[in-house]
Structure 1
Amino acid sequence: MEHVNSPDAPDIPDHAMRAAVETFVIFGRLRRKLQALPGDSGLTPAQTSVLVRMGKVDATSVGELAAAEQVTHQAMVKTVAALEAAGLIARHPDPADRRRQTLTLTPAGRDRAQGERQARQQWLARALAEHGTPEEIEAVTIAMRLLGEVADA
């Protein structure tokens, strides 16, 4: 994969650009793979993704979820309605704006989100162990630290 810097970014070293492109492509593929993993929860991949995302925040809105999941507001309304019907999320009036509703996980939703996250982490750990040497897996850990620093910068 040869890359030539664009005129507006001539100071980026080629090795950094290659790493960025490869990271972007692989993270996209890995994210899709993890979202598509079958679970025993009976939830769709979209519902599972929303449930796991909500497990990372105290409260959110349909609009915030739609933006984060990169889907339309209407699609998110349907996903949220299914999760609410399953007793996994609850709606509450927003204390700052009574016209708006916030969404939170119920205790059952929190348990399910944790179980889904653990199942995906276990799948990834098994896949790393099957495909990588201990040295390669350590290199992944080191790379993740660097990407974490980049994400926090």
Structure 2
Amino acid sequence: MQPARAKIMGHPIHPMLVVFPIGLYIISFVFDLVYLSIGDPFWFRMAYWTMLGGLIGNVAAAIPGFLDYLTLPPKTEARQIATYHMGIGVTLAILYFANLLLRDWGVIAANQQPWGVVILNLVGVLLIGLQGWLGGELVYKHGVGVEEKGRTGEERFRRVA
């Protein structure tokens, strides 16, 4: 098991922070779909601002994630998976930054159909799913960020009477 390097009171920081960009990126896509459905520019603006929040959260989560990455021994399966996980995270930051630039501060004429940025958003959401799966592999298969403290799995999860 490989304990996390970046912690608060013994708990890894990276998993605490990733929920924000994940949620904000996904809701930005939902807002894009709402905009396409009803044509109210408010929803396009909301997609822009939630996407911006997601990008800020993405960068914030990447810092402790990178510190945890540095704890992984080179030339291991966990390090390889973590490298892909990190690469997708960097790709997501670039993709959403580009998407934000294409959105002109969230200003759009009513009933305009911005398919390019919406498809870019969909690609981002799909990449988030892949990145999350790889993160799950790191935690559940390789124990990254998990501290065992010398206990076996059976001891850790014994039943409470």
TM-score, reference length from structure 1: 0.33
TM-score, reference length from structure 2: 0.32
Q: Considering Cα pairs closer than 8 Å and 6+ residues apart, tell me whether 1 or 2 has the greater RCO.
A: 2
Please state which structure has a larger fraction of its residues in helix. 2
